[in-house]
Amino acid sequence: MRDRDNFDNPTNVSGFDNPGRSNASSATSERPQEGMKGTASQVGEQVSQQADKTIDKAADGLGQASEQLRQRAQTQSGVQAQVGERVADGLEKTSEYLEGRDAAQIIDDVESYVKEHPMAALAGAVVGGFVLARVLR
């Protein structure tokens, strides 16, 4: 059976393994890999562009929400007005942060924050997971 397999291999015409001879199929196998790398690069670029568009939409939404909240807070008095102003300020700052950065910069900022404050990041992830689990129920 082994001899038959050797004869069926078109790169080995003698019927015996020939380690000194180069295999022509290795050069052609690199071309699909190059094509896959190009495709992966294109997909990565598309994902990055979509993430940037989503970040821009989120920034716009947060900006609008901060304006609306600020308007409502101005009609209130006391603690409600103060809390409304603080939340509106936070939303506005977040909106400005998102407008000034792309997805890669935000990822870098998150990574550096997690390295500098691992316990706070862990606590935030736990709270975020809990809230997400409750919302998705």
Domain boundaries, the chain: 27-100, 102-137
Say yes or no to pLDDT of 17 above 70: no
pLDDT at 31: 65
Residues written for the chain: 137
Alpha-carbon distance of 137 to 129, in angstroms, equals 12
Q: Which residue has the tokens 């979509």?
A: 50
Residue 15 zone, left/alpha/beta (φ > 0; ψ -120 to 50; rest): left
Say yes or no to pLDDT of 85 above 80: yes
What pTM does this model have? 0.58
Burial profile 107-126: b = 16 or more Cβ within 10 angstroms, e = fewer: eeeeeeeeeeeeeeeeeeee
- Give the residue-averaged pLDDT of 68-82: 89
